[in-house]
Structure 1
């Protein structure tokens, strides 16, 4: 029985995790930590949008890899832990897809194209929208960030539970080492 995820799954996991932490920190800084008239603000928003698109792309590839490779089994875990873990993973995948999509829609609805690191603009998914639609998309993106923080915290808490309390080797399934 294979207990450990393969190198591709581990690479995608940690790359997406690092990018997600970066995005959450950058998003918080852009909205709360920098003056609206700061000249670097536009560059930070461009970086945020491009990295969000990158996360979306990587998550979709990760799901393709995941669907073509069975995850290592955890038969010895209680049903409640297996179900909770599975639900958290599904919710994380959902939010890691929805959050960038809502961000792209928000930007495009505000008539701001999304550039992928200056290389090309993403295809337009939505034309410019009235202010209430833009505001609702902005609110949805902000709420999504909060949900994502909660799901990541639960994911980390589960890993720490297995590592520090159960000491059952589950942390080694996705470890780089």
Structure 2
């Protein structure tokens, strides 16, 4: 369950890959909802989107609690220069900031617009236009920043796996070395 000095443990691996999958779905549903003009379709998409957003928030909090109280991350790859390790820490830190910012702005839009009751089965009022609410701007910017961070993160992992061939992806997977 816990990490070793060389490899991430099953709890960290599960949270990582589940979060990765859900963030991709979250981005897809968010951009799709923004492009959809049909109110009923938008409501269905946003119900999924908001639920996934809350799930990602809870997984991110669980990840931070796991690292703070129960586990230690493996040591940085010895084959990486210090600047790459620093860049990786910076990107990971930005992930947390953006995820919490996205959660805050998403919750802000739900509260200010009254859409929370519409999306989660309370009211039957028409879904508000989220562009009328201030949190929509940072939410949209955050989604684009999240895409950039994902590109950096995936690019770095692929670089390590296929160019440096240092087994970095295997460190974040189940099983032995």
Q: What SS is found at the alignment partner of 2:115?
A: coil
User: Which residue is equivalent to 1:55?
Assistant: 56
Please show how residues 15-54 of structure 1 align to structure 2 within 5 Å.
15-32=18-35, 34=36, 36-54=37-55
Q: Distance in 2 between matches of 1:106 and 1:38?
A: 17
Q: How many residues align?
A: 164
Cα shift at 1:170? 1.4
TM-score normalized with structure 2 length? 0.84
Quote the RMSD (CA, aligned, Å): 2.4
Cα shift at 1:135? 3.0
Q: Distance in 2 between matches of 1:90 and 1:22?
A: 21
Contact (CA 8 Å) 1:106, 1:137: kept in 2 or not?
A: yes
Q: Distance in 1 between matches of 2:141 and 2:16?
A: 23
Instruction: Tell whether 2:95 aligns with 1:112.
Output: no
Q: Provide structure 1 residue ranges, at least 5 long, that are not aligned to the other structure.
A: 121-130
Cα shift at 1:67? 1.8
Q: Provide structure 2 residue ranges, at least 5 long, that are not aligned to the other structure.
A: 123-128
Q: Distance in 1 between matches of 2:118 and 2:62?
A: 20
Q: Distance in 2 between matches of 1:133 and 1:43?
A: 18
Q: Distance in 1 between matches of 2:100 and 2:60?
A: 7
TM-score normalized with structure 1 length? 0.84
Cα shift at 1:153? 0.7
Instruction: Tell whether 2:14 aligns with 1:11.
Output: yes
